[in-house]
Structure 1
Amino acid sequence: MSTVIEQPVEARLVAAAPRMPSIPATLRYDRRDPFAVRMAFPAPATLEGVEACWTFSRELLAAGLLGPEGHGDVRVRPYGYGRTVLEFHAPEGTAVVHVHSQTVRRFLAATDELVPAGLEHLQLDLDHDLAELMRDIC
């Protein structure tokens, strides 16, 4: 069984520079980092002209389908019928994108099959991680 789920999404760029009506993006989930979701944007959609990747919690993405969530760099909320808004805040500015909510739901359902919500902690190997930290200290 694969440990990674990738879902292409069409993101409609609402506020950012350079302005683009829609851009391809990718949602990514890796069971080795079971609490996190990554959303990657291609280089042409960023101010620096390099691919940008945002990491935020799977729980934030799921909760944002139902109502406004997030107070930091990433915020998620429903928008009208069938859309979800993701806001990405950085020192350089804010990017606001709309994505199809159904695409996000499909992605979350696939992640839930891989690692059920609420059971993420079972994927962690704390003994191994602690040993790695201790090895790096010596």
Structure 2
Amino acid sequence: MSTVIEQAVQARMVASAPRMETVHATLRYDPKDPFAVSMAFPPPATLEGVEVSWAFSRDLLAAGMDRPAGVGDVRVRPYGYDRTVLEFHAPEGVAMVHIRTSEVRGFLHRSQLLVPSGGEHQYLDLDEDLAELLRDAI
């Protein structure tokens, strides 16, 4: 049985207006996908009015707390002493959120206890993944 880590965080949405709206988001880590984390936003926080989840590299999240990281759809960077900024780039536009760095560090620490960095490959089931790909090809 796999243990999944889910942590609620308060994300402050950065808009063009001077105020920032706080929304509840969820960071998630599943050892079945050991290289990735995800961040889910509830329906009221999205343009479509449905929950939206972004998956990205756990290493990207860790690196972005100390220095700007990422060049693709998800970018992470520190902001001041106690905030981390996540930028989510989509065809509809860019969403920027601030979250407390201490919450990110706590989440990453818990994920490291499950799957230490550098040991992710030990949690991959390549035989099952290959079998699934072949099933889909038939």
Report the TM-score, using the length of structure 1 for normalisation: 0.93
CA distance in structure 2 between the partners assigned to 1:23 and 1:134 by the alignment: 41
Helix, strand or coil: the match of 1:31? Answer: coil
Displacement of 1:134: 1.9
Any stretches of 5+ residues in structure 2 without a counterpart? none
Question: Which residue number in structure 1 is paired with residue 6 of structure 2?
Answer: 6
CA distance in structure 1 between the partners assigned to 2:115 and 2:15 by the alignment: 33
CA distance in structure 2 between the partners assigned to 1:22 and 1:84 by the alignment: 14
Alignment of 1:71-90 (within 5 A): 71-90=71-90
Deviations 1:97-134 (A, max 9, x none): 00000000000000000000111010011122112222
How many residue pairs get aligned? The number is: 137
Aligned-partner residue type, residue 56 of structure 1 = F
CA distance in structure 2 between the partners assigned to 1:20 and 1:47 by the alignment: 16
Question: Which residue number in structure 2 is paired with residue 37 of structure 1?
Answer: 37
> Any conservation in 2 of the 1:16–1:95 contact (CA below 8 Å)?
no
CA distance in structure 2 between the partners assigned to 1:42 and 1:67 by the alignment: 28
Deviations 1:48-77 (A, max 9, x none): 111110000000000001100000110000
Report the TM-score, using the length of structure 2 for normalisation: 0.93
CA distance in structure 1 between the partners assigned to 2:116 and 2:48 by the alignment: 36
- Pair 1:126 & 2:126 matched: yes
Coordinate RMSD, CA, aligned: 1.6
Helix, strand or coil: the match of 2:107? Answer: helix
Aligned-partner residue type, residue 110 of structure 2 = A
Percent of residue pairs bearing the same amino acid type: 69
Aligned-partner residue type, residue 41 of structure 2 = F
**Alpha carbons of structure 1 residues 135 and 104: separation in structure 2 relative to 1, 3 Å:** same
- Pair 1:136 & 2:136 matched: yes
Question: Which residue number in structure 2 is paired with residue 60 of structure 1?
Answer: 60
